Chain A
Amino acid sequence: MTTTTQPGIRPANATGKITYTPVDGRLLDVEDLHVEFHTDDGIAKAINGVSFTLDQGESLAILGESGSGKSVTAQAIMGILDMPPAKIPHGAVKYCGVDLLTMPDDRRRWVRGAEIAMIFQDALSSLNPVFPVGWQIAEMFRQHRGMNKSDAQAQAVRLMERVAIPAAKERVKAYPHQFSGGMRQRIMIAMAIALDPAVLIADEPTTALDVTVQAQIMSLLQELQQERQMGLILITHDLGVVADVADRSVVMYAGRLVETANVYDLYRNPAHPYTRGLLESIPRLDQKGQTLAAIGGLPPNLLRIPPGCAFNPRCRMAKDVCRVDLPALREVASGRHSACHFAEEVIDA
C-alpha cells in the first residue's frame, strides 16, 4: 500500500509540462466517435458515430433513455471506459485540439481531473467509504500539484465551503456515509472543481436526489460554471432538469445523435419523433386527467440494431423508407439538426 506520495517521481506541477489553450474558445471536439462492447453474445454497438463540440462557458445537455449511449460517451471522453470489454474502433476526442484517444495514458492521466473532471450519479458509491471526504478532496492537490498534507487539507476546507457545506472545518474529517445525499453530491462537485478544470461532465448528477435538493445542486452547478467559465456537459434522461441550465442540447438514441437544438427550440418544437415522445412522457400540471403518453416498446438491443432508422419500430410516423434508409443528421432549421426523414413534418406538427 502506498499511502504517501513519492517525491521525485512525480513533477511538482505535472500539468505544467503541457498547457492546453482552447483555440477560438473551443474546448472539446468529439468527431465521429464509435464505441463497442465485446460481450459473450457478440459486439454491442453502444456509440455509432457521434460528433459534437463544446465551447468555453457553454453548457451542453446530452439527453436520452438509459442505454442510449450518453454515459458511455462521457466515459469515452474521460477515458474511464473499461477496455476490454469496451473498444473504440473509430473517432477522435480532441481537447484544445489534441486528440485524447491517441494520447499515451501517462499523459492523459494528467488531463483527467485537472482539465476535464466528472461527477457521477450515485455520490455514495462514488466516494470511497473508508477515507474522510476532506482527504479525498485533498488527494487531488496532493497527487496533481504535489502539495503537502496541511495545505491540501486547507484547500479541501476552502472547496467544501465553496460548495456550501455547513461547518466545513469540522466536517472535513467526516466519512461519506455521515453526509446526506445532497451534501455528498456537493462533495463530489468540490472534488471535481478542485483543480479548476476547463470541462466538467455531470452524469445524471441529480437522479438519486430529492426534488428540492435537485434544484439546489443544479443551481450550484450553474453558478460554478458561470463563475469559472467552464464548459459543462450535463447528461440526463430528465428533460426537466436541464431546462434552466443548458444552452444547447443533443438527443441520443441507440448510440447516435438524433437531434441537436438549443433547449428552447427543443422544448417548444421538437424536430424528431423520439424527442417529441420524450417530451410527451413528462407529466404536466396543465394537462390534468389525460393519459401520460409513454413511448411504446423498448430501446433496441445494441447487439442487433434494426436496419434503417433505429427508432422505426417504436415510431408512430414510420414509413417503409425508415426501415431501409438510415436518416443522416441534417440541418432542418437554422442551428437545428435532426436525423429523421420526416423532420419537417415533425416540426410542423
Chain B
Amino acid sequence: MTESATVVQAVEATNAAGDVGEARSLGADAWRALRKKPLFWVSLVLITIFVLMAIWPSLFTNTDPDNAVLRQARERPNANAWFGRDIQGYDIYSRVVYGARASILVGVLTTTFTVLLGGAIGTLAAYAGGWVDALVSRVTDIFFAIPLLLGAILFMAATQPRGKPYFVIILLVVTAISILGWPSLARLMRSSVMQVLPNDYVQAARALGASPWRIIRKHIIPNAMGPLIVVSTINLGAYIAAEATLSFLGIGLQPPVISWGVSISDAIVGLRTTPHMLAFPSLFLSLTVLAFIMLGDAIRDAFDPKTR
C-alpha cells in the first residue's frame, strides 16, 4: 500500500472517529457502505419481487398459466397477453410468474443445504485438525473431482425424476446440486476457520476453559462466516442456472411443471418463429441470477475496506 493511500485512510479513520465519537464495528461500517450502493438496493428489490412471485404468484397475475388458448398460439406480445403466447397458446407472462417458484425454491434450498453441510464440515476439519482434517479433506476431494453439472446429470438420471410429483423433483434437483456443491464451500470455510483459529480471542476463550462448542459458536463461526455468506449468495444464482440447465437437458423438471428452465427449453426449438417465447423466461432467469450475484458482490465490497 502506498503512502498516499495510507494518508487517505488515516484521514478517513480520524474523520470518522471525530464525527461519530465511538469506534464502529466492521458490521456497522459495512452496512454504512452498503446503504450508499445503488446496486445493493436494486438487487434487493429484484430479489424481493422474485421471492414474492414464488410465494404468491396470484399477486402478479390473474391468468391461469395452464389455460391454453390454442387459437391465439404464437401470438406476439399485446395488450391482452403482455408477453405474448407460446406454441401451446399459454400466456407467457403468467407462466413466467408461476415459473419463479421452481427457480427460487431450488436456489434457496440448495444454498441452505450447501451452507449447512459445507460450513459444518469445513469448520469440523479446521477445528479438529489432525487425522479428522486429513480424512475430511480427502472426502471433500472425492466430491470435488466430479464437475457439478456432470455429477448432477448422473444423479438425476439415476433417480429417474420422470413422472414424480413437483416437490419430489425439486428436492431431487436440490439434492443433486447440493451433493456436488458443498465441497467448494467446505474448503472455503476450512481455510477461513484456519485463519480465525490462531487469533488471540480464540486462544483466550480456550484458556478460560470455554467448551469447544461454545468457542465454535461464539467466536469462530461469527468471525469466519463472511466469505461463506458472500460466496454462497453468488452461488445461489449459479444453482438457479444449473437447475435450468438440467431442465434444458430434459432431466430436471419436466412439463407439465412450470419452470423457467422448461420454458426456455421449449422455446429454443422455435427460436426463429417465436423469439418472444425465449426472451421473457430468459430475461427473468437472468435477472434473478444477476440480482444474487450483485448482492453478493455488494456485500463483499462492503466488508472489504480495500475496494471501498
Contacts and interface: CB of A to CB of B under 8 A. Distances in A.
Contact of B3 (A72, A302, A303): A72
B2 to A, nearest CB: 6
Contacts of B80: none
B12 to A, nearest CB: 6
A44 B3 contact: no
B198 interface: no
Contacts of B4: 37, 72, 75, 81-82, 85-86
Contacts of B2: 75, 80, 82
Interface string A192-228: 0000000000010000000000000000000000000
B3 A41 contact: no
Given A301-B14, A301-B18, A82 B7 contact: no
Interface in B1-45: 2-5, 7-8, 10-12, 14-15, 18
Nearest to A41: B15
Given A41-B12, A82-B2, A67 B7 contact: yes
A46 interface: yes
What DSSP secondary structure best describes chain B's contact surface?
helix
A72 B7 contact: yes
B10 A298 contact: no
A298 B12 CA distance: 14
What DSSP secondary structure best describes chain A's contact surface?
loop
A39 B10 contact: no
Given A71-B3, A72-B3, A75-B3, A37 B8 contact: yes
Nearest to B9: A39
A41 B8 CA distance: 10
Interface string B55-66: 000000000000
Interface in A91-146: none
A75 B3 CA distance: 8
Contacts of B3: 71-72, 75, 203
Contacts of B11: 37, 39, 41, 44, 301-303
A46 B7 contact: yes
A139 B216 CA distance: 50
A323 B7 CA distance: 25
A44 B18 contact: no
A71 B8 CA distance: 13
B205 to A, nearest CB: 31
Contact of A66 (B8, B10, B12, B18): B10
A75 B7 CA distance: 12
B290 to A, nearest CB: 27
B18 A39 contact: no
Contacts of B15: 41, 301, 303
A301 B2 CA distance: 19
5 contacts: A39-B12, A44-B8, A66-B10, A85-B4, A301-B11
Interface of B: 2-5, 7-8, 10-12, 14-15, 18
Which 3 A-B pairs have CB atoms at the shortest separation, nearest pair first? A71-B3, A44-B11, A301-B14
